[in-house]
Amino acid sequence: MYCGIDFGTSNSAIAIANDDGVRLAPVENDEITLPSALFYPLKKPPVYGHAAMTLFTEGEEGRFMRSLKRLLGTQLMNYGTLVNNTPRKFDDIIGGFISFMKNKGEALAGQPIEQAVIGRPVHFVDGDPGADYAAEEQLRRIAEAAGFKHVAFQFEPIAAAFAHETKLASEKLTLVVDVGGGTSDFTVIHLDPKTATKRERAGDILGNAGTRIGGNDFDKNLSILSVMPHLGYKTGYGAKNLPVPLSWFHDMSEWSKINFLYTSAMKREVKTVLRESHAPEKLRRYKKVLDGETGHRLLDATERAKIALTDADSAAADLGFIEPEFSIDMTRKDFERAIAADVDKISATMDECLALSNVQKDRIELIVLTGGPTETPLLKRLIKEKFPAAALSEDDKLSSVALGLGHDSLRAFAA
């Protein structure tokens, strides 16, 4: 018995595989995908997924974390963090999540699983091969500490391609567009249902490219544009009208950095600046979020509004936990303005993948879309305009990577 694990920035899944086929394991009740979130209640074991998010939003005391995958390969992995006043290493924190996923797979398999193919982005860290290698090795050590004896890695867009290949009726030259919470990754690949079980697939893969931009960056930029100005962003303080540090607001808008703000030194600094603030009613809101350690709740409200803008022209972020009846209206035009530079970078990386593959746009026959952010109207319009003749496949957007990794585990480990 083998498995494929999609440890995602926003969502995760595990597929088990043997000679009878590949199956996704239920990871939370009957759900086959799990938010990559965890919550450490006071004096209780950690809780994962929707249950973690519910405890946090309902005001349970403890420590909430999300998007930990983005820490891999960065210096922040070396620092660790305080969890309910106890120092913890991020290796151990992420390891707890991987162990949770492993246990769910073993519950479905009815036996231990010691061999896994784990998905990885094309680049954990842009433009830094050393950090990229370090990130994979960190994840390997974490998986081995969780009990896996044999660990292999596969690019996530290639895994998504393998999952879709089993559904095709004929050969297709395919571009996989995998936009997740933390990265956007692309693969040009020949898919053919007749060769889906072929062990060696390197010859079918024409090129890969990726960039460290994803749905979390969409959240951040929408927050900076529409939310943070109401909390003191770009305001001044003191007789010299010094700018309030922009880093406060950028870190409060990034899922993986929010927890690092909750220090005594930071709280003292904000209190000092507030005394001389030129917009105290706004900065007081920031201080309340900081003191109450509700930054994730603030960004969650922004993310919910972002998702609503997929189908609506306007939405509101409900911030009543800061002030009664406090909400911020946003429009789809606001959102598209906030993410325009990100989408341009995604488009350029897509072009890079085609160039590396030596494939012209009009030769692409199928576009496989995977990852929740591919629902973003601006991004979907871009893809349709770039590849007007290609068919679109959008099946199993949140689970196709795990399914493909399961199929790949058979290639990697089956005799």
pLDDT along the chain (415 residues), means of 10: 96 94 95 96 94 91 93 90 90 97 96 97 93 96 97 96 91 96 96 84 93 96 98 97 98 94 96 98 98 94 96 96 96 97 97 97 96 95 96 90 94 82
pLDDT value, residue 415: 60
Q: For 82, what's the count of Cα atoms within 13 Å in the CB-facing half-sphere?
A: 7
Res 131: pLDDT: 94
Confidence at residue 375, expressed as pLDDT on a 0 to 100 scale: 94
Of the chain, the end-to-end C-alpha distance in Å amounts to: 12
Token pair listed for 130:
């050393």
State the amino acid at position 298 in one-letter form.
L
Q: What angle do CA 226, 231, 234 make, to 5 degrees?
A: 80
Q: What pLDDT is attached to residue 194?
A: 87
**Closest by CA position to 396, among listed 374, 380, 378:** 374
Contact 300, 57 (CB under 8 A): yes
DSSP 279: S
Q: What is the pLDDT of residues 112-148, one digit of tens each?
A: 999 999 999 999 999 899 999 999 999 999 999 999 9
- pLDDT for 40 equals 95
Amino acid of residue 371: G
Counted residue by residue, the chain has a size of: 415
- Only one residue has tokens 């950095």, namely 257
| pTM score | 0.92
